[in-house]
Amino acid sequence: MLKDLFCISKVFASVLVALFFIHTGNVMSQGLEKEMSLEENIPTKDPLVVKRINSSIDDAEKAFGQVDPLKIELQIQDLAFPNGGGSVAELEVRGFHNGETIFFNLIWSDSTKNEKSITHAQFRDAVGLMFPIEIVKISPETPYSPRMGDRGKPVNIWHWKADWEKELATGYAHMEDEYPNMFTDFDFNPEPKQIQNELYNSTALMSGGIAAGSLLSKANRGSSVEDLNAIGFGTLTAQTHQDVKGKGSWVDGKWNVVVYRPMKTSDEFDTQFEPGMETYFNTAVWDGEEGDRNGLKSISVRWRPLKIE
C-alpha cells in the first residue's frame, strides 16, 4: 500500500514539474516573441546639439535657457516581459558643456511626486540617459540595440532617482520612518544576551548589503544618479567608480532634472565626450505612481543623434 502511494506521489510530482515548465516556457515566449523592428536601428534625423557655454552647475538654469529642447516621444516598454510603462508621453532634453563638464536637462510631466521606495508598494520616479560607450555607426546593417545595448555592444546609463535626491536633502531613509511602531528583537530587547549584542553590532551579519559595498545600501552615496553599464536585458550593473552627479526638483506637476559629469574620465566603462564629436543617446522614464520599476518604464525605441558643439 505504501509503495503504491509512493509511486502515485512521484507521478503527481512529475506532472506538477512538467506543468511548471510548460507555463514558464509560455510566459517567456510571450515576452520574447516580439523582435526589434527595423526602425529601431534607424536613428532619428533631429539631433540634440550640446552647446558650448562657459557656465557651471551653479548657473545651469540660465545656460539651459539658451538651448533649444529636443522633444522625445515615449511609449510602453513592449519587448521584454513583463511589458509596462507608457504613462509618460513626452520628454524634453537639453544639453550644454563648458569644455570640461557636460550637462543634460530632462523635463517631463508627472502629476504626482514619488520619492519613496521603502515599502513593497512604493515606487520612485526616475529618468535614464543611455549612450554607446564607443563611437559607433548605427544602421540596419550595423545594428546597436537602443534598448540597453547587446552582447559585445555595451552602453553607459546614467540613472537619476527621486528617492536618492530626497535622501541627499533629508538623510538616509529607514524602515522605521515608514513604520514608526515596528518592533524588532534586537533593537528593543532591554537585556540582550551577549550573542545578540555581537550579532546586532556585526555589519557583516546584520547588514549584508553594506558589508558587500552595495551602492543601494550605502547611507552616503553623495549623488542622486547611478552610473551603470549594460549589454542587454537583465545585465544592468552599477560601476565601481561613480562619476555622474545630478539634482532634480518637482514643481507644478513637472520634474526638472539635471545630470552632469566630467567630459573625460579615467573609467574605461564610461562614454567619453569631447568638443566636435558626434554620437547617439536614448532615454527612459519611470512613473512611480503607476508602479514603474525595472523594465516597466516609458521608453524611446530609437537612438537620437548627439552633437557636441
120-134 pLDDT, tens digit per residue, is: 899 999 999 999 999
CB count within 10 Å of CB 69 equals: 15
Distance CA(32)–CA(35), nearest Å, equals 7
Between residues 177 and 8, which one has the greater pLDDT? Answer: 177
> What tens digit of pLDDT does each residue of 89-108 get?
999 999 999 999 999 999 99
SS (H, E, C) 149-179: CECCECEEEEEEEHHHHHHHHHCCCCHHHHC
**What average pLDDT does this structure show over 292-307?**
97
Residue 8 has pLDDT above 70, yes or no: no
Which residues are CB-neighbours of 297 under 8 A, at least 6 positions away? Answer: 77, 84, 85, 128, 284, 285, 286
> What tens digit of pLDDT does each residue of 142-195 get?
999 999 999 999 999 999 999 999 999 998 887 888 888 877 665 555 555 666
Nearest to 152 by CA among 240, 232, 272, 42: 232
SS (H, E, C) 205-265: HHCHHHHCCCCCCCCCCCCCEEEEEECCCCCCEECCCCCCEEEEEEECCEEEEEEEEECCC
Helices then strands, each counted (H, E), the chain = 8, 14
Residue 278 has pLDDT above 90, yes or no: yes
Joined grid coordinates for residue 98: 563648458
* pLDDT band at residue 208 under the 50/70/90 scheme: confident
Question: Does residue 82 have a cis bond before it (omega within 30 degrees)?
Answer: yes
Q: How remote is the C-alpha of 174 from its chain's centroid?
A: 21
Residue 1 has pLDDT above 50, yes or no: no
Output b/e per residue, 168-185; b: 16+ Cβ within 10 A: beeeebeeeeeeeeeeee
Between residues 210 and 304, which one has the greater pLDDT? Answer: 304
Which helix (H) or strand (E) is 92 found in, with range?
A: strand 90-97
Q: Contact, 259 vs 225, CB < 8 A?
A: yes
Which residues are CB-neighbours of 3 under 8 A, at least 6 positions away? Answer: none
Nearest to 303 by CA among 93, 46, 97, 118: 46
Which helix (H) or strand (E) is 73 found in, with range?
A: strand 70-73
Comparing 4-13, 175-184, 254-263, the range with the smallest average pLDDT is 4-13
**What average pLDDT does this structure show over 258-266?**
98
Which 3 state secondary structure label does DSSP give 56?
A: coil
Rg (CA), the chain: 23
**What average pLDDT does this structure show over 83-90?**
96
Distance CA(242)–CA(223), nearest Å, equals 9
What local confidence, expressed as pLDDT, does residue 12 receive? 44
